[in-house]
């Protein structure tokens, strides 16, 4: 004979992190108050919380008023302080490495000339954090060989 279980299913709330990735947190079925508090906290932080899986039967009855009030407060806060719009497109400044600048210089000068001292100096100056000609040369040669191996050519070399 099977035992009758009064155990409720677990609750999973997924939300957006500050980096824009979606994470989820599990709550035991008997920990409904903690789940509600976490949901309200993420709603107030505009993290777009969502209940995945089965929603508890008494969730809506107990939490609708608070959720609606929090949603209204969050909407007012968002309208008062809109998120800044990123107008400048391109590569973020913290991702511009020596290899990035080597690619930029190769795009300017072309593949036909190979890696030159002028190119290495330009990469070193563009990187600007600390002068290291050896690192700049390694980056230039690495990017040049990677592009050459992939079959990239300049228009003059293709003719």
Are 27 and 59 members of one domain? yes
Distance, CA of 2 to CA of 46 (rounded, Å): 44
Final residue of a domain: which of 26, 50, 80? 80
Residue 87 domain-assigned? no
Residue 114 tokens read as 């190979």
* Structural domain boundaries, residue 132: 93-154
**Confidence category of residue 105, pLDDT binned at 50, 70, 90:** very high
Q: Given a cut of 90, is residue 122 above it in pLDDT?
A: yes
Question: Does 61 share its domain with 15?
Answer: yes
Residues 141 and 118 in one domain: yes
Report yes or no on 124 lying in a domain.
yes
Q: Is 88 contained in some domain?
A: no
- In the 8-state DSSP scheme, what is residue 113? T
Q: Between 51 and 131, name the one with better pLDDT.
A: 131
Residue in the structure block whose two tokens are 């290495």: 120
**DSSP E strands, 1-115:** 11-16, 22-27, 50-52
* Domain's final residue, options 80, 110, 126: 80
Per-residue pLDDT at 156: 45
- At residue 70 the predicted structure's pLDDT band, cuts being 50, 70 and 90, is low
- Same domain, residue pair 135 and 107: yes
Kindly report the number of other CB atoms within 10 A of residue 44's CB atom.
14
Q: 50 pLDDT exceeds 60? A: yes
- Total residues found in the chain within this entry: 159
Residue 17 placed within a domain: yes
Q: Which residue has the tokens 């968002």?
A: 78
Tally of domains in the chain: 2
Point out the domain boundary residue: 47, 80, 113. 80
Angle between helices 98-109 and 133-149 (to 10 degrees): 60
One domain, residues 23 and 52: yes
Q: Report pLDDT digits (tens) over 75-86.
A: 666 666 666 666
The residues facing 13 across adjacent strands are 25, 51
């Amino acid at each position: 004979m099977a035992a009758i279980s009064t155990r409720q299913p677990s609750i999973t709330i997924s939300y957006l992190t500050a980096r824009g990735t979606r994470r989820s947190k599990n709550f035991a079925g008997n920990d409904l108050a903690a789940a509600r508090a976490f949901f309200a906290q993420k709603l107030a932080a505009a993290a777009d919380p969502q209940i995945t899986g089965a929603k508890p039967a008494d969730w809506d009855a107990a939490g609708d008023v608070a959720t609606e009030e929090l949603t209204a407060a969050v909407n007012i806060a968002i309208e008062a302080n809109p998120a800044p719009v990123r107008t400048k497109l391109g590569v973020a400044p913290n991702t511009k490495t020596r290899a990035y600048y080597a690619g930029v210089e190769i795009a300017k000068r072309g593949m036909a000339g190979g890696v030159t001292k002028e190119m290495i100096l330009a990469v070193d100056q563009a990187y600007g954090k600390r002068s290291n000609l050896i690192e700049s040369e390694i980056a230039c040669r690495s990017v040049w060989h990677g592009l050459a191996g992939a079959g990239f050519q300049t228009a003059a070399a293709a003719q």
